[in-house]
Amino acid sequence: MPISFTNPSVLWLLLPLLGLLSLPSIERAGRASATAARGGLQTLRRAATTRHWLGTALRGLIGLGLILALSGARWVQSVADLTTVFVLDLSDSVPAEEQERAETFIRQAVAAMPDGDRAAIVAFGEEA
């Protein structure tokens, strides 16, 4: 899965993100030991642990998404086929000889296209 970045220097922000995500874990470890010393309930501790890790994972995913967006992450997918779209003005404001010249150009360009390439024509005008 080839990924490219338009601004890869922003990826350095991943290091502070990891640090920020570990801070609640360090703080929580201190509180958990204090709660255990006071005889806290096991069920409440388990629910708090689950909520803590879900919150940390969600914050991490949001931070990762923001950093990837800022770095201009793009998924690059190479394709062998090429599609060319020709736009043809058939309105009355374009002289008939210019329209014929444009149609001739399009025919020649389509004839010169390699096998597998595709062409489309968008014609516009009052009665196109």
What average pLDDT does this structure show over 98-112?
Answer: 94
Answer yes or no: do 35 and 71 share one domain. yes
CA 44 vs CA 40, 41, 52, 128: distances in Å: 8, 5, 12, 71
Cross-strand pairs, 89: 124
- pLDDT for position 29: 54
- Mean pLDDT, residues 88-93: 91
The answer to whether residues 69 and 29 belong to one domain is: yes
pLDDT of residue 33: 54
Considering only residues 67 and 40, tell me which one the structure prediction assigns the higher pLDDT. 67
Whole-number pLDDT of residue 107: 95
Question: Based on the domain organization, do 29 and 90 belong to the same domain?
Answer: no
Residue 64 sits in the same domain as residue 117: no
Q: What per-residue confidence (pLDDT) applies to 61?
A: 92
The reported pLDDT for the residue numbered 1 is 64
Domain count, the chain: 2
